[in-house]
């Protein structure tokens, strides 16, 4: 894939929260296998470090319970056929809803709370990215085929270029994770491993030959 201009890029870390990614979080205590989420922590951290070194923007999303709207599974009459409700989780202001310690946001990072899959729906994320001159979003985090992919689609529809950091995501299903990479390559942009994502501090040189002067 082409080298990206760091100042025009944002690494968007999706929902790497304690309730998802910590063994003492909601899903871990419920007995779910969160090993793939935990395995994503180090690669995401490496990608974030790479972004910071190059001068790219770093942003975080947090999926939080929306009291007026209710939990995601309670907002619809026709619920997803295989949905399995898991009780109270991701309460705003709680430890469970916070970004895991290994990825704690720094001053100057973008932090966006959202009530659904997409980080752009009902938030000011697009405005924040535009104000920083961002044109390319590198998405990572959890869950690959849910909030990560939904955010990628929303960003694409808003005109951003998309990169999915395929080895810096976590999923409940490896099959659906692989399918998400295929979807990104087919419809949205590039699915690439961290080592394939190259960031530069300078825009590429303009190699366009100058036009001859017109007398």
Query: Which pLDDT score, from 0 to 100, does residue 214 have?
Result: 42
Of the candidates 170, 156, 51, 154, the residue with the CA atom closest to the CA atom of residue 112: 154
C-alpha to C-alpha distance for 173 and 138, rounded to whole angstroms: 21
Domain ranges of the chain: 4-200
Q: Give the whole-number percent of the chain exceeding pLDDT 90.
A: 79
Contact 168, 195 (CB under 8 A): no
Catalytic (active site) residue 114: yes
Bridging pattern class, strands 57-63 and 4-5? unpaired
Region 126-140: mean pLDDT is 98
Please tell me whether residue 186 adopts helix, strand or coil conformation: helix
Asked if pLDDT for residue 215 goes beyond 70, the answer is no
Query: Which pLDDT score, from 0 to 100, does residue 82 have?
Result: 80
Tokens at residue 191, please?
């699915």
Cα atoms found within 13 Å of the Cα of residue 156, Cβ hemisphere only = 18
Catalytic (active site) residue 86: no
Query: Quick one: how many helices (H) and strands (E) in the chain?
Result: 7, 8
As a dihedral over the C-alpha atoms of residue 48, residue 49, residue 51, residue 57, rounded to 10 degrees, the angle is: 60
From 9, 15, 50, 140, active-site residue: 15
Q: What is the DSSP letter of 17?
A: B
Mean pLDDT value across the chain: 91
Contact 51, 6 (CB under 8 A): yes
Query: Which pLDDT score, from 0 to 100, does residue 203 have?
Result: 62
Catalytic (active site) residue 15: yes
From 9, 36, 50, 114, active-site residue: 114
Token look-up 């955010």 returns: 151
Q: How far is CA 30 from CA 87, 111, 165, 200, in A?
A: 10, 27, 28, 43
Region 86-110: mean pLDDT is 93
Residue of higher predicted confidence among 119 and 72: 119
Confidence band, pLDDT 50/70/90 cuts, at residue 213: very low
Token look-up 């690439």 returns: 192
Region 140-162: mean pLDDT is 98
Q: What is the pLDDT of residues 38-50, one digit of tens each?
A: 999 999 999 999 9
C-alpha to C-alpha distance for 173 and 179, rounded to whole angstroms: 10
Q: Give the whole-number percent of the chain exceeding pLDDT 70.
A: 91
Query: Which pLDDT score, from 0 to 100, does residue 146 have?
Result: 96
Query: Which pLDDT score, from 0 to 100, does residue 206 have?
Result: 54
Confidence band, pLDDT 50/70/90 cuts, at residue 148: very high
CATH of domain 4-200: 3.40.50.850
From 21, 147, 161, 167, active-site residue: 147
Tokens at residue 171, please?
């999923």
Asked if pLDDT for residue 211 goes beyond 70, the answer is no
Of the candidates 104, 97, 114, the residue with the CA atom closest to the CA atom of residue 26: 97
**Cα radius of gyration (the chain):** 18
Q: What is the pLDDT of residues 152-208, one digit of tens each?
A: 999 999 999 999 999 999 999 999 999 999 999 999 999 999 999 999 986 655 545
């Amino acid at each position: 894939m082409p080298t990206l201009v760091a100042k025009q890029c944002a690494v968007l870390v999706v929902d790497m929260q304690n309730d998802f990614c910590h063994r003492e979080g909601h899903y871990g205590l419920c007995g779910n296998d969160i090993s793939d989420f935990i395995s994503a922590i180090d690669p995401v951290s490496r990608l974030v470090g790479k972004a910071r070194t190059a001068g790219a923007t770093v942003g975080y999303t947090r999926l939080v319970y929306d009291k007026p709207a209710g939990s995601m599974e309670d907002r619809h009459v026709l619920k997803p056929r295989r949905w399995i409700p898991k009780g109270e989780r991701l309460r705003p202001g709680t430890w469970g809803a916070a970004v895991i310690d290994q990825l704690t946001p720094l001053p100057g990072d973008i932090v966006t709370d959202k009530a659904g899959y997409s980080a752009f729906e009902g938030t000011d994320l697009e405005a924040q990215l535009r104000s920083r001159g961002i044109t390319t979003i590198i998405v990572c985090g959890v869950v690959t085929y849910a909030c990560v992919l939904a955010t990628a689609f929303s960003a694409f529809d808003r005109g951003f270029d998309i990169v999915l950091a395929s080895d810096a995501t976590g999923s409940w299903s490896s099959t659906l994770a692989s399918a998400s990479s295929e979807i990104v390559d087919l419809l949205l942009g590039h699915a690439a491993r961290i080592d394939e994502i190259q960031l530069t501090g300078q825009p590429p040189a303009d190699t366009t030959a100058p036009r001859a002067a017109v007398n």
